[in-house]
């Protein structure tokens, strides 16, 4: 769900989740700002208001819901993909199944593996 403004979000987003999604988007925006300030601060750069939109980009909330499957071997989730954003904030639920692939070009023991 793309965000342009509160009124449009409340009119167009699904009734089942629009209030929670809007609240999440607003709080995650502040968290992303703080993360970017910390990351850029460690690089000796400053993040001011004129740059914040360029770094954060389009505000999106992507949600995937999969009801319990009686046969887990047949369960299919979101396929392998790359996120195109500056930062991606992932929330793991109690069920599990969220994996991130460590790039090949990093100096880590698990490079190239899904963790």
Per residue in 6-45, pLDDT tens? 888 888 888 888 888 888 888 887 888 888 888 888 888 8
14 beta partners: none
Q: Which residue has the higher pLDDT, 79 or 48?
A: 48
**d(C-alpha 34, C-alpha 55), whole Å:** 12
Is residue 102 helix, strand or coil?
coil
Helix axes 18-42, 49-56, angle to 10 degrees: 110
CA-only gyration radius of the chain, Å: 17
Task: Give the model's confidence band at 1: pLDDT under 50 very low, under 70 low, under 90 confident, else very high.
Answer: low
Question: Which pTM does this prediction carry?
Answer: 0.57
Residues 52-81: what's their mean pLDDT?
74
Query: What proportion of the chain, given as a percentage, has pLDDT over 70?
Result: 94
């Amino acid at each position: 769900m793309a965000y342009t403004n509160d009124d449009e979000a409340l009119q167009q987003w699904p009734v089942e989740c629009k209030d929670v999604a809007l609240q999440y988007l607003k709080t995650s925006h502040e968290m992303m700002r703080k993360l970017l300030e910390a990351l850029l601060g460690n690089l000796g750069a400053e993040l001011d208001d004129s740059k914040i939109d360029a770094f954060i980009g389009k505000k999106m909330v992507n949600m995937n819901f999969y009801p319990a499957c009686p046969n887990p071997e047949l369960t299919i989730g979101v396929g392998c993909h790359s996120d195109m954003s500056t930062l991606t904030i992932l929330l793991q639920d109690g069920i599990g199944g969220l994996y991130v692939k460590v790039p090949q070009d990093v100096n880590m023991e698990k490079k190239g593996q899904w963790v």
